Amino acid sequence: MLSENIKAIRKSKGLSQQELAVKLNVVRQTVSKWEQGLSVPDSDMLISLSEVLEIPVSTLLGETVVETEVDRLKAISEKLEIINLQLAQRKITRRKMIRWLLIALCAIITIGFAALGIVNSPYLGWDYSDPETAVLGVAFHSFEWLFVRVAPILFLAAIVGIVLTFKKE
pTM, two decimal places: 0.51
Please report, rounded to a whole number, the percentage of residues in the chain having pLDDT higher than 90. 46
| 36, burial (CB in 10 Å: exposed 0-12, middle 13-18, buried 19+) | exposed
40 and 96 together in one domain: no
| 81, burial (CB in 10 Å: exposed 0-12, middle 13-18, buried 19+) | exposed
How many angstroms separate the CA atoms of 21 and 15, rounded?
10
Looking from the CA of 109 toward its CB, the CA atoms found within 13 Å total 20
- Domain span at 129: 90-166
162 and 108 together in one domain: yes
Q: What is the mean pLDDT of residues 38-46?
A: 87
8 and 56 together in one domain: yes
Q: Is residue 67 part of a domain?
A: no
Residue 29: the pLDDT is 94
31 and 98 together in one domain: no
157 and 95 together in one domain: yes
Read off φ and ψ for residue 126, nearest 5 degrees: -75, 160
Q: Is residue 81 part of a domain?
A: no
How many angstroms separate the CA atoms of 71 and 55, rounded?
19
Q: Is residue 115 part of a domain?
A: yes
Over residues 43-83, the pLDDT tens digits come to 888 889 889 988 888 887 876 544 455 667 777 888 899 99
User: Which one, of 49, 54, 47, 45, lies nearest residue 20 by Cα?
Assistant: 49
Q: What is the mean pLDDT of residues 93-103?
A: 94
Q: Is residue 73 part of a domain?
A: no
For residues 99 and 113, is the Cβ–Cβ distance under 8 A?
A: no
Q: Is residue 14 part of a domain?
A: yes
Domain stops at, among 18, 39, 60? 60
How many domains, in total, are found in the chain?
A: 2
Find all residues with CB under 8 Å of 141, minimum gap 6, and list them: 121, 123, 124
95 and 161 together in one domain: yes
Domain stops at, among 60, 75, 103? 60
Over residues 153-164, the pLDDT tens digits come to 999 999 999 999
Residue 93: the pLDDT is 93
Over residues 102-117, the pLDDT tens digits come to 999 999 999 999 998 8
